[in-house]
Chain A
């Protein structure tokens, strides 16, 4: 079997297919019941989050368990930018990315003195510290439990300069007169997702990316090969933190409110799940994982007993009651149970994630990955091959 080569041409094709698929999301997601803007914004934002996490975890193998802290820092920075500078999302995004980069550099500089589980614990400790600080000492900055929001009497210098100081109704991020919620908000996030994908492809195929993969495989050998591994890992950490900051900033662009719960360890765990579910170390896997988790969160948590009775109505009465009470555990509030099961099944049977599953399917149908130049399934092959 000859795998698809990761040539420049194939990567361009992959990028174009990806961009088209993302921009066409409103069309192909509608039949799946996910074609509404709020959810699609989440797909794009968490896709970016997972994509950045994958640059660290997928390439270098360093498992950070505190990435939610960067999401939170990005969010707070963006809201502060709204409060001080105005509701234009571009400075908010830029500031969120830069601030998070600096924050990530500090945390990474300390945490990367250790590897393996000790690194994970250090990052987790930093994230928990940030989370608790946001609720206590830093309340003047974070507004504690209430969450940070934009108020009418905030300075918003740029807004006042262009005479848009007095807002009627609630304040929303506005770019060139277009309000960043609903579909425009989705396209704004999608644009960043596509740019993020382009950068990710460049990094994956670059000598820098090769060094990162070498760190994952054999850090000892890389040191004895004359490469100083720590600055490489730190750079990857900062880049991945900046992606998370961008995601955090975008969350606030679509809804200008930042709360500390965004930094909780469950959020850090979620991005690990997304990445592994989709396929760590593959280009599009983490985005598929993020989409799947956000989709099931939405679908399964919306189910209630009524819907279940509807689904299982064809069963005899006694059995139906039993089935519904069992299935009820897995939906609504309990949808995490479904997620846990799904995760277990993937890790046990498809350690390479959904991307590996897709690749196996393609192999089984005998078409061979040779035919699929780009696309989602086709991407797995160069990863596996190199």
Chain B
């Protein structure tokens, strides 16, 4: 039984069937990529995992617990962290504060009034944040404004913010979208290292085949709202149905 189980999920927007009977079983510890051409329903599926959209039918279970109807902060507290397509960070705060906030969110829960002690006296959260910044290579910029970082560094920071929470599942929505080749490769290296060091389950939604084949152990291909093939990267590469979905039947 996998860490995340998706059964019979359907979602329509008006007359458009965005998700058509999706079944998925994500194994614990896996790096699972979901790929597919534009409009295949990848992002809709991801939004169903994080509480932004509610499927019309079906179930999404994380460690046996249903995620449907939970708000984003409850899903995060359950152990699911999310990396956005464009890095979502606290641009007006320092890097250290950016990473301290998620550490505090784990320690204090969704809401706790802690208005009398000082942030710099929260030694545990502070130490975790420092160690995580060190680990993604941003330690020397810890007092800078996060808004001044380069795109690649913002992505690193966002990953640090997710990983400091020690989540059980990380959802990555096109982590390298709009990045230069160099930044893309740096992010791939970072993600690969994170897999080795932290070993969290990851679901990656991606267009870029280079990223998918460098990271994923398991790949699901979606087309028109339905998963059509699932397998290892090698199996996917040779599968005629995948080529058809991407290239409309023309042989390469």
Residue numbers of A with Cβ under 8 A of B are 7-8, 202-203, 205-211, 213-214, 216-218, 220-229, 231-232, 235, 385-386
Q: Would you call A221 and B90 a contact (CB within 8 A)?
A: yes
Q: Would you call A218 and B101 a contact (CB within 8 A)?
A: no
- Please judge, given known A-B contacts A8-B118, A223-B73, A224-B73, whether A207 and B108 are in contact too, CB under 8 Å: yes
Q: Would you call A207 and B120 a contact (CB within 8 A)?
A: no
Q: Would you call A226 and B77 a contact (CB within 8 A)?
A: yes
Which of B154-170 touch A at CB < 8 Å?
A: 161, 165
Q: Would you call A207 and B117 a contact (CB within 8 A)?
A: yes
- Inter-chain CA distance A386–B95, complex, in Å, is 9
Since A214-B101, A228-B111 are in contact, a sample of 9 more A-B pairs with Cβ atoms closer than 8 Å, ordered by chain A residue number, is A206-B117, A207-B117, A208-B115, A209-B115, A211-B104, A218-B91, A220-B88, A225-B105, A228-B73
Contact of B101 among A7, A8, A222, A235 (CB under 8 A): A222
- Inter-chain CA distance A264–B110, complex, in Å, is 37
Contact of A227 among B82, B88, B100, B111 (CB under 8 A): B111
Complex contacts, B73 vs chain A, CB 8 Å = 223-229
Contact of B97 among A223, A224, A386 (CB under 8 A): A386
- Inter-chain CA distance A372–B123, complex, in Å, is 28
Q: Would you call B97 and A210 a contact (CB within 8 A)?
A: yes
Contact of B92 among A205, A213, A231, A232 (CB under 8 A): A213
Complex contacts, B22 vs chain A, CB 8 Å = none
Q: Would you call B120 and A8 a contact (CB within 8 A)?
A: yes
Which of B52-110 touch A at CB < 8 Å?
A: 71-73, 76-77, 81-82, 84, 88-94, 97, 100-102, 104-106, 108-110
The total of chain B residues at the interface (CB under 8 A) is 40
- Please judge, given known A-B contacts A224-B76, A225-B76, A225-B161, whether A207 and B92 are in contact too, CB under 8 Å: no
- Please judge, given known A-B contacts A206-B114, A207-B119, A209-B115, whether A226 and B90 are in contact too, CB under 8 Å: no
Q: Would you call B89 and A226 a contact (CB within 8 A)?
A: no
The majority secondary structure among interface residues of chain A is helix
- Please judge, given known A-B contacts A210-B104, A386-B94, whether A224 and B118 are in contact too, CB under 8 Å: no
- Inter-chain CA distance A385–B120, complex, in Å, is 15
Q: Would you call B115 and A202 a contact (CB within 8 A)?
A: yes
Complex contacts, A218 vs chain B, CB 8 Å = 88-91
Complex contacts, B214 vs chain A, CB 8 Å = none
Complex contacts, B81 vs chain A, CB 8 Å = 224
Q: Would you call B113 and A202 a contact (CB within 8 A)?
A: no
Q: Would you call B72 and A223 a contact (CB within 8 A)?
A: yes
Complex contacts, A232 vs chain B, CB 8 Å = 111
Complex contacts, A221 vs chain B, CB 8 Å = 88-90
Give me 30 A-to-B residue pairs in the complex whose CB atoms sit less than 8 angstroms apart, sorted by A's number. Answer: A203-B115, A206-B119, A207-B104, A207-B119, A208-B113, A209-B115, A209-B119, A210-B93, A210-B104, A213-B90, A213-B93, A214-B93, A216-B92, A218-B89, A218-B91, A223-B76, A224-B72, A224-B81, A225-B101, A225-B102, A225-B165, A226-B77, A226-B102, A227-B73, A227-B101, A227-B111, A228-B73, A229-B73, A385-B94, A386-B93
**Does B50 sit within 8 A of A, measured CB to CB?**
yes
**Does B180 sit within 8 A of A, measured CB to CB?**
no
Complex contacts, A208 vs chain B, CB 8 Å = 113-115
Complex contacts, B13 vs chain A, CB 8 Å = none
Complex contacts, A228 vs chain B, CB 8 Å = 71, 73, 110-111
CB distance from A4 to the nearest CB of B (A): 12
Complex contacts, B113 vs chain A, CB 8 Å = 208, 235
Closest to B82 in A: A224
- Inter-chain CA distance A203–B90, complex, in Å, is 19
- Inter-chain CA distance A226–B89, complex, in Å, is 14
CB distance from B147 to the nearest CB of A (A): 9
Complex contacts, B100 vs chain A, CB 8 Å = 210
Closest to A209 in B: B115
Which of A205, A210, A213, A231 has its CB near the most chain B CB atoms (within 10 A)?
A210
Q: Would you call A206 and B116 a contact (CB within 8 A)?
A: yes
- Inter-chain CA distance A217–B104, complex, in Å, is 17
- Inter-chain CA distance A220–B85, complex, in Å, is 13
**Does B122 sit within 8 A of A, measured CB to CB?**
yes
CB distance from B81 to the nearest CB of A (A): 8
**Does B143 sit within 8 A of A, measured CB to CB?**
yes
- Inter-chain CA distance A195–B186, complex, in Å, is 51
- Please judge, given known A-B contacts A207-B117, A217-B93, whether A224 and B101 are in contact too, CB under 8 Å: no
- Inter-chain CA distance A51–B77, complex, in Å, is 34
Q: Would you call B115 and A226 a contact (CB within 8 A)?
A: no
- Inter-chain CA distance A214–B98, complex, in Å, is 8
Complex contacts, B161 vs chain A, CB 8 Å = 225
- Inter-chain CA distance A229–B94, complex, in Å, is 20
Contact of B88 among A202, A211, A224, A229 (CB under 8 A): A224
Contact of B114 among A7, A207, A226 (CB under 8 A): A207
